[in-house]
Amino acid sequence: MTKLFDAYHLRHHALANRLVMAPLTRSRAQPDGTPGELAAQYYAERAGVGLIIAESTQPSDDGQGYMATPGIYTEAHIAGWRKVISAVHAKGTPIFIQLMHAGRISHPDNTPYHRQALAPSAIEPGSGIFTPGGMQAVPVPREMTAEEIRQTVADFRYAARCAIEAGADGVEIHAANAYLIHQFLAPSSNKRTDEYGGSIESRARFAIEIATAIADEIGADRTAIRFSPGMKLWGIEEGPDGADLYRYLVTELDRLGLSYLHISQYGQDEVLLEDFRKLWKNTLILNRPGRPREQIGSDIASGLADLEAYGQLVLANPDFVDRLKTNASMNEADPRTFFGGDAHGYTDYPTLRETQDA
Ligand SMILES: Cc1cc2nc3c(=O)[nH]c(=O)nc-3n(C[C@H](O)[C@H](O)[C@H](O)COP(=O)(O)O)c2cc1C
């Protein structure tokens, strides 16, 4: 348990401890995709963790999926993120921005130009999505052309450059949770017959091209990636070669020397995690959804991970690390205020001291 609170070197970044804020979409950005007015306060209040991974952020207009998510591809976005990042850096904590293209998990009503969503294949996920008009079915997306694939890789590259211009310590490529890159990985959403579909190597190609382009643009030491092996939501079925696909990806990406690998472990495959540990030489961050509090720190203690990421606990407890250290009780996250809205459920979760003073 003690290791959890020890300092850690993530390449040239000194982390105060081994706890990480997992990326959390909060849908409170301004209409043009600039982070909202309270975002700097929200993140700075949570800077007691060793590393913050900021919420999913679209690299382009058509990369947006949900309402009021931030972007990082215009001057206004850069200026907005600079405020957030400065506030976090003032607390001495590094921050990565997570780059996400939603692919088919989108709706024309949620994107700036209301275009049909892009995906590896024209297959709808069979799920609903929240839009300004309420809950709607996710429509059938349009199969990306080879040119659109090239453009999307270029968009990721440019967004990574913008993130660095805003002062970010790096970017995390969102290749998890059923969004565009994951849609390329899974045979259920990728029926392509070109070099981006079919075999493991072909399905992995898009992810590797994006990682390679970003590492080339901003440096491998500022480039990271998140996967969610075994995740089954929103029409994602990884198929019988799913574990081999991830072993291949991790092996190939390791060659690039990226900053960290972030695994959100939905599956039950512990052997796969042990394999990642062997195949990946640099930092490994593990997030286990719904991890009971008494198990916090055990993946670091066992040597399976270098850092552990937590979402809901950090969302609801700005002083998460202090509460852990002192074995104090935790606030519970309120799902009704996860997405959209104002300060309520965003910057008004009390610290332990505020609770005691009240
Ligand atoms: C409100 C909310 C928003 C989320 N947004 C993102 C996101 O933007 N990017 C991402 O990779 N995961 C996202 N997730 C998943 C979390 O990063 C994390 O994997 C998940 O909450 C499980 O970890 P936990 O049990 O510690 O919360 C989100 C989860 C929640 C609850």
275 C-alpha vs ligand 1 centroid, how far in Å? 24
194 C-alpha vs ligand 1 centroid, how far in Å? 33
Residue in this structure with the two tokens 């996250």, named with its chain if needed: 333
> What end-to-end distance do the CA atoms of the chain give, in Å?
31
* 179 in active site: yes
Residues with CB under 6 A from ligand 1: 22-25, 55-56, 98, 174, 176-177, 226, 264, 287, 289-290, 310-313, 338
pLDDT score for 2: 56
Best mutation site among 52, 177, 331 for ligand 1, i.e. most ligand atoms within 8 A of its Cβ? 177
pLDDT score for 12: 86
Q: Of 8, 179, 196, 246, which residue is the catalytic one? A: 179
* Residue 143 φ/ψ region, left for φ over 0, alpha for ψ in the -120 to 50 degree band, beta for the rest: beta
pLDDT score for 137: 95
pTM summary value: 0.97
Domains, the chain, with CATH or none = 8-357 (3.20.20.70)
pLDDT score for 356: 83
- Work out which ligand 1 atom sits closest to the CA atom of 176: 11
Q: pLDDT in tens for each of the 358 residues of the chain?
A: 459 999 999 998 999 999 999 999 999 999 999 999 999 999 999 999 999 999 999 999 999 999 999 999 999 999 999 999 999 999 999 999 999 999 999 999 999 999 999 999 999 999 999 999 999 999 999 999 999 999 999 999 999 999 999 999 999 999 999 999 999 999 999 999 999 999 999 999 999 999 999 999 999 999 999 999 999 899 999 999 999 999 999 999 999 999 999 999 987 788 999 999 999 999 999 999 999 999 999 999 999 999 999 999 999 999 999 999 999 999 999 999 999 999 999 999 999 988 887 7
Is the alpha carbon torsion for 316, 318, 324, 326 positive or negative? Answer: negative
Give 60's Cβ-side CA count (13 Å radius): 19
